[in-house]
Structure 1
Amino acid sequence: MQPGLYVSLSSQVALERRLTTIADNVANAGTVGFRATGVKFEDLVTGMGKGSMSFVSTGETYLSTKSGGMKETGNPLDMAIKGDAWFGIQTPQGMVMTRDGRFTIQPDGMLVSIEGYPVVDAGGAELLLDPQAGPPVVASDGTIRQNGNLVGGVGLFQFTPGVDFVRYGNSGVVPPTQPQPILDDPDVGIMQGFVENSNVDPVLEMTRLIQVQRAFENMAALTRNSESSLNEAIKALGA
């Protein structure tokens, strides 16, 4: 097989992966707390000198660290994070990190996420409020008070998603290692009565979609040309 076919095939595999991430980003442009997915590609060189060839790697996904815009809701149970931190929720898969702060209080007083999972404090314990004590007041450090009494604190955590991270549910991410609680960081805090919008830029993602489509068409044309050249060579040698 001609080298051009290998190069074209590696490019098409990479473009397919990029297309998948773009489609996921566009689909979640309106998802609260969603962080966009990016892909890193590298050149893979084989051979030396004039016989060397460059291929593209299949790519590694990474999570965008850009924050989404803040939207005021006025709901005392809605919370948004300012800075590099995440809420922790307990799920059947263990603790999951999320930026979606649309919380509710169950009849038994448990504070839960939009998907019904318990929200945890800095120590990983579930938060219990008094459903009869009125709306909670949440300070920027996450402490919660009802009727002036301290009843708990929303935990804020940091972790490194790493490459090829795993998503969970609405906008959650499964941490590859134990997340670390943030206890005293002036750059991190909670904004009560707000939610964080998705950090996806739909216009930018659509532009990237067009670029991927054109690149895929170019690779397809390269493949056809390589096959045509190979067929002509076979005919010439056979004659």
Structure 2
Amino acid sequence: MGNLIDAAAAILSNTEKRLETISNNIANTSTPGFKRIISGFATESGENRKIDIKPIQTLRNDSSQGVLKQTGSSLDIAISGIGYFLVRREDQYFLTRAGGFSRGPEGALRTAEGLVLQLAGGADAAVESDAVEILGDGTILDRGTPVGRIGVYAAPSDGVDRGGGLIRIASEPDLADEGAYEVRQAMLESSNVVLSDEMVALMANTRQAEGGAQLVRLYDQLIGQAITTFARAGR
């Protein structure tokens, strides 16, 4: 019977983690540039490979392109193709597909949360006016004068956007191949979460959780029957 309760516990634990991932996707349906999280499970064997097999959750982002929507703002930018913008908060760096920027008091291009956009060379992106033109390769023209090229970076193999459209990184990533993307001005990328798909997954995993709970109830019934049988046999 131990295998039965172990199976039920594994089902409930795995389903709970999937439901957390699905709920996070749903919560970020309207987050610009957010990439849907895909949850999977790998197995890790203990010393006794026949018995001690533990499912380990794996997370990755769905890299498919979100819909690009025109905004009319010259400082909104989107990436068509692969790659991420690099933004900085003090000494912490993040990758993002969310390209909604505005000009700060010192001219730096900042997100609504205050993170500063980075150029391909590593410096902060800054302009003197909102009258800028951004070319397809990321070059910024401020009143017709080039002031730098926006960095578009390859996605890290181990980074996951867990919400908010940001992937935290520990070291500077590699630049993406220039032919693999185009920077689009006055546009923003929508989240690639499809709400109807997430709702279907939510219902399927809810049913799976109910199945795990039924196994637990069955286990309790079997234990109760066994105790009753032993008690009667001892009379």
**Alpha-carbon shift at residue 42 of structure 1 (Å):** 3.3
**Alpha-carbon shift at residue 10 of structure 1 (Å):** 1.1
What is the correspondence of 1:7-156 to structure 2 with a 5 Å cutoff? Answer: 7-42=7-42, 57-92=55-90, 94-131=92-129, 134-156=130-152
Return the match for 1:207 from 172, 197, 200: 200
Cα distance change of structure 1 residues 237 and 226 upon mapping to structure 2, 3 Å threshold: same
Deviations 1:146-177 (A, max 9, x none): 222111111111132427x4647x31111254
Identity %, equivalent residues: 27
Residue type of the alignment partner of 1:33: G
Q: Assess if the C-alpha contact under 8 Å between 1:159 and 1:175 holds in 2.
A: no
Can you give the 5+ residue segments of structure 2 that lack an aligned partner in the other structure? none
- The separation in 1 between residues aligned to 2:9 and 2:209, in whole angstroms, is 10
Residue type of the alignment partner of 2:179: P
Deviations 1:175-217 (A, max 9, x none): 25431123x5212120111100001010000000000111111
Cα distance change of structure 1 residues 55 and 5 upon mapping to structure 2, 3 Å threshold: farther
Residue type of the alignment partner of 2:147: V
Alignment TM-score, normalising by the size of structure 1: 0.88
Please give the secondary structure, in 2, of the residue aligned with 1:57. strand
Residue type of the alignment partner of 1:196: E
**Alpha-carbon shift at residue 70 of structure 1 (Å):** 0.7
Can you give the 5+ residue segments of structure 1 that lack an aligned partner in the other structure? none
Q: Assess if the C-alpha contact under 8 Å between 2:43 and 2:56 holds in 1.
A: no
Q: Assess if the C-alpha contact under 8 Å between 1:123 and 1:181 holds in 2.
A: no
- The separation in 2 between residues aligned to 1:120 and 1:106, in whole angstroms, is 14
User: What is the aligned residue count?
Assistant: 231
Q: Assess if the C-alpha contact under 8 Å between 1:11 and 1:56 holds in 2.
A: no
Deviations 1:109-153 (A, max 9, x none): 11112211111101211012112xx51100000001122211111
Cα distance change of structure 1 residues 109 and 6 upon mapping to structure 2, 3 Å threshold: same
Residue type of the alignment partner of 1:143: T
| Cross-structure match for 1:181 | 175
For the aligned residues, what is the CA RMSD? 2.2
